[in-house]
């Protein structure tokens, strides 16, 4: 368990509560928050995924479906 999670007592939260907290934390970030630059590996992965999407745009799932699956709905 990560030290900060333990220090804050977050390990006591259920998985659903942790997911809700993660959502709330992400929502609390400013829209224009400064992000670290991408690594070369991250950029290569994004380029690969973009090309795969261009080749087969209907192969994936809409975000709403993915999100619902992750939330167990």
Tens of pLDDT, residue by residue, the chain (73 residues): 689 889 999 999 999 999 999 999 988 988 777 888 999 999 999 999 999 999 999 998 999 999 999 988 6
Establish if 29 belongs to a structural domain.
no
Establish if 42 belongs to a structural domain.
yes
- Counted domains in the chain: 1
Establish if 66 belongs to a structural domain.
yes
Distance CA 9, CA 48 (A): 39
Establish if 67 belongs to a structural domain.
yes
Whether this model's pTM surpasses 0.75: no
Which structural domain, as residue segments, surrounds residue 55? Answer: 14-24+37-73
CA 23 to chain centre: 9
Establish if 53 belongs to a structural domain.
yes
């Amino acid at each position: 368990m990560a030290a900060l999670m333990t220090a804050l007592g977050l390990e006591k939260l259920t998985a659903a509560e942790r997911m809700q907290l993660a959502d709330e934390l992400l929502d609390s970030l400013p829209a224009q928050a400064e992000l670290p630059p991408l690594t070369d590996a991250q950029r290569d992965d994004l380029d690969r995924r973009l090309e795969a999407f261009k080749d087969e745009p209907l192969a994936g799932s809409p975000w709403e479906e993915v999100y619902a699956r992750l939330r167990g709905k």
